A and B are shown apart, each in its own frame.
Chain A
Amino acid sequence: MNYRDLGLTDDEYKLILDFMGREPNELELGMFSVMWSEHCGYKNSRPLLKLFPTRGACVIQGPGENAGIIDIGDGDALVFKIESHNHPSAIEPYQGAATGVGGIVRDIFTMGARPIALLNSLRFGKLDDERVKELFAGVVAGIGDYGNCLGIPTVGGEVYFNDCYKENPLVNAMCIGLVKQEEIKKAVAGRAGSPIMLVGAKTGRDGIHGATFASEELSEESAAKRPAVQVGDPFMEKLLIEACLELIKEDLVDGMQDLGAAGLVSSVAETVSKKGKGAVIDVLKVPRREEGMTPYEVMLSESQERMLIIPKSGCEKRIAEIFDRWGLDAAVIGEVTDDGVFRVQEGERKVAEVPVKALTEGCPVYVREGRVPDYYKEAQDFSPEKLPEVDLKEAWIRLLSSPNIASKKWVYAQYDYQVMTNTVILPGHGDAAVLRIKGTRKGLAATVDCNSRMVYLDPYRGGMMAIAEAALNLACVGAKPLAFTNCLNFGNPEKPEIYWQLQEAVKGMSEAAVVLGTPVVSGNVSLYNESTERAVYPTPVVGMVGMLYDIDKRCDMAFKREGDVICLLGRMREELGGSEYLAVCHGIEKGKVPDIDLEELKRLIELILYLTGQKLLASCHDVSEGGLAVALAECAITGDIGFEAEMPELKRGFMFSEAPGRVVVSLREEKLALLEEACAKASIPCQVIGRVKGKEMIFCDRKGNQTALLLKEGKKLWGEAIACLMK
């Protein structure tokens, strides 16, 4: 096999020769190729990731482990991470998405945490295409079936449709776990001579070179190259979760590591490399599903539902008992050594010998040059002023039934979001999911966000916006934003325009994260999301987690009572750049992305937390896709009660602007004075814009002009749009 076929460059091959001091054999070359892939080695993204803030009072574990960890008080911690499974899902949507969930869940319980919530972020082409519908249906079913079987509630997510994802759907899954701080486990093996155990599914020829594959553009060839798609076994994973958490409760292991991309190669290397150790693995001892597997296949297999266990000295027997009780086979496949060398044996025969550090830290890093793409300037110069006027009611209707805005119930109804009986703000009811933490007064909130059209038009502002929206969403349910994880889904970074997108987006995200005090604790990078036609929109998905220290102070978005006052917190703004309105009503994806005043946003978040803390609000919802018109309609539809809102003027700018940093709240009239006082103190503009009332949704101006929609009609349009398209 030629190194170029494995995705290695001439320079990289030279580097390998230096490390080895000789020509590598085929297996050794394979080991380098998977470890030095973008997916495992982050060779294009590492320098950029350094821009992210990673420190903060709550951070227990930042990036560098299987998942990040934050302190939530009382000795508890949350463990979370998001990960992509884009390429496998493009080929086999059901299994690709299912195994994506399986992978991220393993990253969480590997750290010793009980997985308690799943979220996902999905992107597809438009729903007028049969293949896209298949992908969408398959991915949603795959995510649902896997998580449902595990009994981990899928509590939140986002779904977008845009032509740029037609060939390259994005499937990102996030998992959150809860752990007692003293039970946290890291993937470190410190003791030479300790056995290395492999437990879970038998090893087959699944997804060999998945890691390399995930780092290449999708082409005709990749379909043929793929040996076999991984099939997920959620039942096996459920057994693994229970058994592994028992090992941790009984304190039986030194290290625990999941097997993901690059299989045994990566998990063994990562486990031993941190303490400068080595390892010897005998491939004959690896339980196999198929006959005649070569050492190459065994070492690089990406069979799912497997875990590596490094037992504490003397605990092997007890470990075997626990696995046996759960019906799992554990095999000792090798041991930790002291010499920093990764040795692979096939029985007596040595088949590979590579310095561990060469695989991990040896991975080259590329600092690339970005170039501003041509489309950027063109998009900036665009002005919506010249566009023809569209009837406001007509526009409103089209927005409510746009799949990007419409209810996602078709999706989340396939997810068990209530198992574990912790979910107190259900999907579709608030800007973020809220879960109680049993036995405490606390609750956690989580959300995933990214408006990739905005990121495409202006990666810097769009990146900021992703962080800003996530944080604001958490505040809207009454949770203090604490930290985030992210998945950078981009095109081919070797293209200067794409690298520029990546660089600018990370800068924008970092800047917002610094101001808001929300560090990154984990993440994942998925590059080369391109077909021969085009790259996806740059999509840096942000998964943010926050806390409610009193779960009774939570707030959802539904209007509650006839007569309540509706206020807009933040300025009335009219920018339409990058809006769903432009896309849906004019077929245009251009314009200046509205800016964000981060300091003001920070004050707004604190203000909302104060207001929810005082229980002043009946509902709270941020203004995002579709602008005020959609935000208010969502509050009304969810609460099943109408409204009348007065605009300075009835025009599209006011109704459909997606300028960030704005929130609509409703509250009892007698509390208005308190609200206004608090807003003044925070110097956040506050404006009474209407009232909750009746069975109609009405926008009017002072002159008596109206745009109105029956609540029932709005509910039908918004509620059934996706189901109708999927019929």
Chain B
Amino acid sequence: MRFGIVVFPGSNCDADCYHVIKDVMQEEACYIWHKETDLQGVDAVILPGGFSYGDYLRAGAIARFSPVMSAVKEFAARGGLVIGICNGFQILLEAGLLPGAMLRNRSLKFICDQVHLKVNRTDTPFSHLFAPGEVVKIPIAHGEGNYYCPPEILEELKANRQILFTYCSPQGEVSDEYNPNGSLANIAGIINKEGNVLGMMPHPERCSEEILGGTDGFKIFASMIKWAKEASR
């Protein structure tokens, strides 16, 4: 399976994602420069973390005008798997591929830490290898991860079961105490209605190897790979 990792000026988790796909998952990976309009026939797209265009103005705001984004939109519309991690999530929001927007963390500070997430659905391409209700431990690192959307959109997200990951306690309790950044409804990651586009603030590529202290992120990539392979069969 071939993953395309989009590189914007200022992306900085591109190489980390490449490493995970290539060296850990042992799948094919290629970089896609933001000026390209062709996705080189990849089977899945990763929008990596970082500070595209310095995150000046608003996180992800400028990146969404990159030529590659039209191709990513088309790819998503055709049902291709797209995962946006951290800055990638912010770009997906700005580009309208997912609903909502990011505000500054309520602490007003950048936060680098380990958090726990509750996996709310296990019937998606990104999460089918998790156990129902599983709690996973995963790193975050962001200054603008405070997810916001208008109330009617939140209702829609809930109704369509689009909230894939929520911040929670190690035991799975979802409460404000375990909300690192002030996100609405403790949202850490959402998918689109069709289920093929995921945006998440935490970094699965940072916890896909034992040596890094955890492997819960591995399952997200493994889920995508298995899903795609089964779909193409």
Q: Which residues of A contact B (CB under 8 A)?
A: 141, 144-145, 148-151, 233-236, 238-239, 326-327, 412-421, 423-424, 426, 436, 438, 551
Contact indicator per residue, chain B 102-128, by CB within 8 Å of chain A (1) or not (0) = 000000011111000000000000000
Find chain A residues with CB under 8 A from B213 CB. 424, 426
Most buried by B among A145, A236, A416, A423: A416
- Interface: B203 (CB within 8 A): yes
CB distance from A701 to the nearest CB of B (A): 38
CB distance from A357 to the nearest CB of B (A): 40
| Interface pair A419/B109, CB less than 8 Å apart | no
| Interface pair A148/B51, CB less than 8 Å apart | yes
A-B contact pairs, 24 of them (CB 8 A): A141-B109, A148-B143, A149-B55, A150-B12, A151-B12, A151-B13, A233-B54, A238-B51, A326-B9, A327-B9, A412-B112, A413-B109, A413-B112, A415-B110, A417-B112, A419-B12, A419-B49, A420-B16, A421-B16, A421-B20, A421-B212, A424-B211, A424-B212, A551-B211
Find chain B residues with CB under 8 A from A419 CB. 12-13, 16, 49, 141
| Interface pair B56/A235, CB less than 8 Å apart | yes
| Segment 51-77 of B: residues with Cβ below 8 Å from A | 51, 53-56
CB distance from B181 to the nearest CB of A (A): 12
| Segment 79-122 of B: residues with Cβ below 8 Å from A | 109-113
| Interface pair B54/A149, CB less than 8 Å apart | yes
| Interface pair B110/A416, CB less than 8 Å apart | yes
Cross-interface CB contact of B9 among A239, A426, A438, A551, cutoff 8 Å: A239
Rounded to whole angstroms, the CA-CA distance of A412 and B111 in the bound complex is 9
Find chain B residues with CB under 8 A from A234 CB. 51, 54
Given A145-B110, A149-B55, A151-B50, A418 contacting B206 (CB threshold 8 A): yes
Find chain A residues with CB under 8 A from B10 CB. 149, 235, 238-239
B16 to chain A: closest residue by CB: A421
Find chain B residues with CB under 8 A from A424 CB. 211-213
Q: Size range of the interface on B?
A: 20 to 34
Interface class of chain B by DSSP: mixed
Q: Which residues of B contact A (CB under 8 A)?
A: 9-10, 12-13, 15-16, 19-20, 23, 49-51, 53-56, 109-113, 139, 141, 143, 203, 205-206, 209, 211-213
Rounded to whole angstroms, the CA-CA distance of A417 and B132 in the bound complex is 31
B180 to chain A: closest residue by CB: A413
Cross-interface CB contact of A144 among B110, B113, B211, cutoff 8 Å: B110
Given A418-B139, A551-B211, A148 contacting B9 (CB threshold 8 A): no
Rounded to whole angstroms, the CA-CA distance of A335 and B213 in the bound complex is 52
| Interface pair A414/B109, CB less than 8 Å apart | yes
Cross-interface CB contact of B110 among A414, A421, A423, A551, cutoff 8 Å: A414
Rounded to whole angstroms, the CA-CA distance of A551 and B209 in the bound complex is 14
A422 to chain B: closest residue by CB: B212
CB distance from B150 to the nearest CB of A (A): 30
Given A148-B141, A151-B12, A438-B19, A413 contacting B203 (CB threshold 8 A): no
Given A420-B15, A420-B16, A235 contacting B110 (CB threshold 8 A): no
The 5 lowest CB-CB distance pairs between A and B, nearest first, are A151-B12, A235-B54, A149-B51, A416-B141, A421-B16
CB distance from B111 to the nearest CB of A (A): 6
CB distance from B22 to the nearest CB of A (A): 11
CB distance from B81 to the nearest CB of A (A): 22
Rounded to whole angstroms, the CA-CA distance of A89 and B110 in the bound complex is 20
Cross-interface CB contact of A421 among B54, B109, B111, B205, cutoff 8 Å: B205
| Interface pair A414/B54, CB less than 8 Å apart | no
Rounded to whole angstroms, the CA-CA distance of A151 and B206 in the bound complex is 13
CB distance from A441 to the nearest CB of B (A): 11
Known pairs A151-B12, A415-B110, A419-B13 / 17 extra A-B pairs, C-beta < 8 Å = A144-B110, A148-B141, A149-B54, A150-B12, A151-B50, A151-B51, A235-B10, A238-B12, A238-B51, A414-B110, A414-B112, A416-B141, A418-B206, A419-B12, A421-B209, A423-B212, A551-B211
| Interface pair A436/B211, CB less than 8 Å apart | yes
B12 to chain A: closest residue by CB: A151
Rounded to whole angstroms, the CA-CA distance of A586 and B15 in the bound complex is 52
Find chain B residues with CB under 8 A from A436 CB. 211
A554 to chain B: closest residue by CB: B211
| Interface pair B53/A235, CB less than 8 Å apart | yes
Rounded to whole angstroms, the CA-CA distance of A149 and B144 in the bound complex is 13
Find chain B residues with CB under 8 A from A239 CB. 9-10
A438 to chain B: closest residue by CB: B19
CB distance from A255 to the nearest CB of B (A): 26
B49 to chain A: closest residue by CB: A419
A328 to chain B: closest residue by CB: B9
CB distance from B116 to the nearest CB of A (A): 16
| Interface pair A418/B112, CB less than 8 Å apart | yes
B113 to chain A: closest residue by CB: A413
CB distance from B185 to the nearest CB of A (A): 23
CB distance from A433 to the nearest CB of B (A): 14
CB distance from B91 to the nearest CB of A (A): 15
Rounded to whole angstroms, the CA-CA distance of A238 and B54 in the bound complex is 9
Rounded to whole angstroms, the CA-CA distance of A333 and B39 in the bound complex is 40
| Interface pair B141/A418, CB less than 8 Å apart | yes
Rounded to whole angstroms, the CA-CA distance of A420 and B18 in the bound complex is 11
Find chain B residues with CB under 8 A from A327 CB. 9
Rounded to whole angstroms, the CA-CA distance of A418 and B12 in the bound complex is 12
B51 to chain A: closest residue by CB: A149
CB distance from A248 to the nearest CB of B (A): 17
Most buried by B among A326, A417, A419, A438: A419
Rounded to whole angstroms, the CA-CA distance of A421 and B141 in the bound complex is 12
| Interface pair B111/A413, CB less than 8 Å apart | yes
CB distance from A145 to the nearest CB of B (A): 7
A151 to chain B: closest residue by CB: B12
CB distance from A159 to the nearest CB of B (A): 16
A242 to chain B: closest residue by CB: B9
| Interface pair A235/B206, CB less than 8 Å apart | no
| Interface pair A148/B206, CB less than 8 Å apart | no
| Interface pair B111/A414, CB less than 8 Å apart | yes
